Amino acid sequence: MNRFKDAEHLVRVAAVFLVGVTLFLCFRAWFVPKSFGEYGHYRGDSIAEVAALPIVHAGHETCEVCHQDVFELKKAGKHAGVNCEACHGPQAKHADDPGSVKPVLPDTAVLCARCHEANSAKPKWFPAVVTAEHSQGLPCNTCHTPHSPHIGDAPAAKEEKK
């Protein structure tokens, strides 16, 4: 009995610690998000949140649903592997509401040079020109049809400019 009396203050300390730990565990149970740990050490709901972010590029499969004719023209030519939005920019809004959201046609003098301007770092197989010498400032679609640009490829359709 005597021994306990002299160590009693240590018991009080232990009690304080115990209360602290208990409070912490209660707070933890309340505060940690419910989906935490669902798949691993993270908030499981976060995966769905990222997957629900807005889409900005429609993707060429969506474009092809309406623009089948362009797709037919393109797939036989040199730009077969170039997707629509690579040149036309993101068009999810247009695909969502084709009637009222009209994409702006890119200016070929600027657009084509992005890929085809000559640069010593570009791979040798890639067709590139020094545009100042090649076209003397004329827009590229003066001679080339962008959807099937190689002159002499069939079909050499004459595309109407909008």
CB-neighbour burial class of residue 110 (10 A; exposed 0-12, middle 13-18, buried 19+): exposed
Considering beta carbons, is residue 50 or 151 the nearer one to another protein?
50
Considering beta carbons, is residue 36 or 153 the nearer one to another protein?
36
Q: Nearest approach, Cβ of 139 to another protein (angstroms)?
A: 18
Q: Nearest approach, Cβ of 17 to another protein (angstroms)?
A: 7
In 3D, which of 93, 134, 131, 91 has the Cα closest to residue 111?
A: 131
Considering beta carbons, is residue 138 or 159 the nearer one to another protein?
159
Q: Nearest approach, Cβ of 123 to another protein (angstroms)?
A: 6
CA gap 130, 120 in Å, rounded:
11
CA gap 153, 147 in Å, rounded:
11
CA gap 64, 17 in Å, rounded:
68
Residue 32 has, within 13 A of its CA and on its CB side, a CA count of 14
Tell me the one-letter amino acid at 33: P
Tokens 């610690």 -> residue: 17
Considering beta carbons, is residue 36 or 139 the nearer one to another protein?
36
Q: Nearest approach, Cβ of 127 to another protein (angstroms)?
A: 10
Q: Nearest approach, Cβ of 143 to another protein (angstroms)?
A: 20
